[in-house]
A and B are shown apart, each in its own frame.
Chain A
Amino acid sequence: MTNFDPAFFVEVLVGGLLSGVMYALVAIGFVLVYKTSGVFNFAQGAMLLFAALTFVSLVEKGVPFALAFLVTLAVMALLGIAIERTVLRPLVNKPPITLFMATLGLAYVLEGSAQLLWGTQVHGLELGIDDKPFIIHGVLISSFDLFAAAVAAGMVALLAFVFQRTRIGLAFRAVADDQFAALAVGLRLPVIWSAVWIAAGFVALIAGLLWGARLGVQFSLSLVVLKALPVLVLGGFDSIPGAIVGGLLIGATEKLAEVYLGGYVGGGIESWCAYVFALGVLLIRPQGLFGQRLVERA
């Protein structure tokens, strides 16, 4: 690397943070499900693919944008209920690893049916955002990424509202806190789990559309989960603020490392440096950034 250019540094940093928002979007879907049901849902990526593929296929068949969105949302809701009925309920109280494996099986089913239903074609997806970059003080910023960040912020605000201000949100938090106690006080866990999976489906749809606009809607969409995993390691599996801050940190670190350190080892280090960074942080703070151990162990 030649001499240090501060504007470029800021550009990389901002770009990294905005990419981080995209990672956080996927991570939030994991957190929702893990927090309330203890299931590490590896099928989140497949749900993303399923949602985006359903949406884009509907749009290509001439369904108006808004209607397609609603229909897809309804499909994801049905899917959430079906998953609760057929996968989660029979597996209640099984060890976490068994549930994790079941979601791997679920990922197979979802990927298979998405492609069987809608074909293996690669689709383009335009959300109507003109992605021309603009430049502030010599720092280039992508308008699409800003839009994505705004959507993510809106979604998080909506989730925060639901969690803090509604009965179902309170029930979510109670179940997340102590599942056995929630059962004992008479909360209907199946209903709450269905609701959570519906919420995860909603997050998958939003994330699927934003990622789909970046990658095109195709099978590889299911691979974006790999970008979310280090975020989870860093931010904690059970914390939405953790997912957001973790996403931002991972995004920024990954980009800065690739640009400034990658050159020394030949580049392409993004695939693993996020994990190493997350691990490094974890070894110092085993509870993660926002894990709720503090309250739990009081």
Chain B
Amino acid sequence: MSNFDQLLSVDRIFAIYNHSVAALHGVSLSVRTGEVRALLGANGAGKTTTLRAIANLLGAQRGSVTSGRIVFDGLDVLKMPPSTLVQAGLASVLEGRHVFKSLNVEENLIVGGLARGSRRSELSADLERIYALFPSLLPKRKIAAGLTSGGEQQMVAIGRALMSRPRLLILDEPSMGLAPIVVKGIFETLRALNRNDGLTILMAEQNAAIALRYADQATVIENGTDVLSDTADALRRGDYVKEFYLGSNVSTGIKREAGPQQPSAVSTSDELQTIAAE
């Protein structure tokens, strides 16, 4: 693959929280235009931190990238405020959805359009498009988002991100806490967006089974480092994922014990950020 259709590249980033708690120890990955890449790993492996680093949101969680480089479409991500990245076409759907609970569904979506300064006509066209993607939101458009179901909130969060007309959509655990049927619907929609509109997608998932079913490529993170990158098919067939599923974390277990970094610090950091995010 030539370099120019590489939409996002993450090059050996290190990140810490609260000036001291280490979270990432050199993660690298890249996303090419038009692909769906899954980011796999156990709870606390550093998936969320990686995604937040890519959207340059770590600062808001008292974290920071200490070294490494992230480039999105030629932009040095770590030097751009999140609003500029959104304008440039990088939109995030956060872990836990983070809808604006007291705003109604439609207002949530409109806020998503504010960042790129959409005109009124653009806004209404975009809204129509979102309601077409997620028809169940239409009857609830005047209801406070906090009062809708988990699946609907996930749709609101995705719709809100789409309102900024992104080229790269980053999703953090889109399946979390949702019924399998809802999860399926959401992933189908994402696939449609990818196939029909050419939307590039990077998603972190703990549920590797479903992620690998919909992804083209996948990267595995462990203890704050990327350990494996391959096509989704290869990974699905490979030993690694089998181990992962069977829960026989032998290799990872050893790796944790033997790893140069303090494992407890890593898991603490993710707990910390989950607490902070709530």
Q: CB of B107 within 8 A of chain A? A: yes
Tell me which residues across on chain A come within 8 A of B146, comparing CB atoms: 295-296, 298
Chain A 261-298 interface mask (CB, 8 Å, partner B; 1/0): 00000000000000000000000000000001001101
Q: How far is the CA of A188 from the CA of B87 in the complex (A)?
A: 11
Tell me which residues across on chain B come within 8 A of A135, comparing CB atoms: none
Contact B114 A177 (CB under 8 A): no
Q: CB of B103 within 8 A of chain A? A: yes
Name the interface size band of chain A: 20 to 34
Chain B 107-150 interface mask (CB, 8 Å, partner A; 1/0): 11011101110000000000000000000000000001011000
Contact of B103 among A173, A179, A184, A188 (CB under 8 A): A173
The 5 lowest CB-CB distance pairs between A and B, nearest first, are A186-B86, A186-B115, A181-B98, A177-B100, A188-B83
Q: List 19 A-B contacts (CB under 8 A).
A: A92-B59, A93-B60, A170-B114, A174-B107, A174-B108, A179-B60, A180-B60, A181-B99, A184-B57, A184-B94, A185-B86, A185-B164, A186-B91, A186-B115, A295-B101, A295-B102, A295-B147, A296-B102, A298-B147
Tell me which residues across on chain B come within 8 A of A181, comparing CB atoms: 94, 98-100
Q: How far is the CA of A180 from the CA of B95 in the complex (A)?
A: 11
Contact A92 B60 (CB under 8 A): yes
Q: CB of A167 within 8 A of chain B? A: yes
The chain A residue with its CB closest to the CB of B88 is A186
The chain A residue with its CB closest to the CB of B161 is A185
Tell me which residues across on chain A come within 8 A of B57, comparing CB atoms: 180, 183-184
The chain B residue with its CB closest to the CB of A296 is B101
Q: CB of B62 within 8 A of chain A? A: yes
Contact A178 B101 (CB under 8 A): yes
Q: CB of B82 within 8 A of chain A? A: yes
A-B contact count (CB 8 A): 94
The chain B residue with its CB closest to the CB of A167 is B114
Main secondary structure of the interface of A (DSSP, over half): helix
Tell me which residues across on chain B come within 8 A of A187, comparing CB atoms: 83, 111, 114-115
Tell me which residues across on chain B come within 8 A of A176, comparing CB atoms: 102
The chain A residue with its CB closest to the CB of B92 is A184
Q: CB within 8 Å of B: which of A81-127?
A: 92-93
Q: How far is the CA of A182 from the CA of B112 in the complex (A)?
A: 9
Tell me which residues across on chain B come within 8 A of A188, comparing CB atoms: 81, 83, 115
The chain B residue with its CB closest to the CB of A171 is B114
Question: A240 to nearest B CB, angstroms?
Answer: 13
Tell me which residues across on chain A come within 8 A of B85, comparing CB atoms: 186
Question: B118 to nearest A CB, angstroms?
Answer: 10
Contact A182 B111 (CB under 8 A): yes
Contact A178 B110 (CB under 8 A): no
Q: How far is the CA of A295 from the CA of B81 in the complex (A)?
A: 30
The chain A residue with its CB closest to the CB of B90 is A186
Tell me which residues across on chain A come within 8 A of B160, comparing CB atoms: 185
**16 additional contacts (CB under 8 A) given A170-B110, A177-B103, A184-B57:** A92-B59, A93-B60, A174-B100, A174-B103, A176-B102, A178-B98, A178-B99, A180-B94, A183-B83, A184-B94, A185-B114, A185-B160, A185-B161, A186-B86, A186-B114, A295-B147
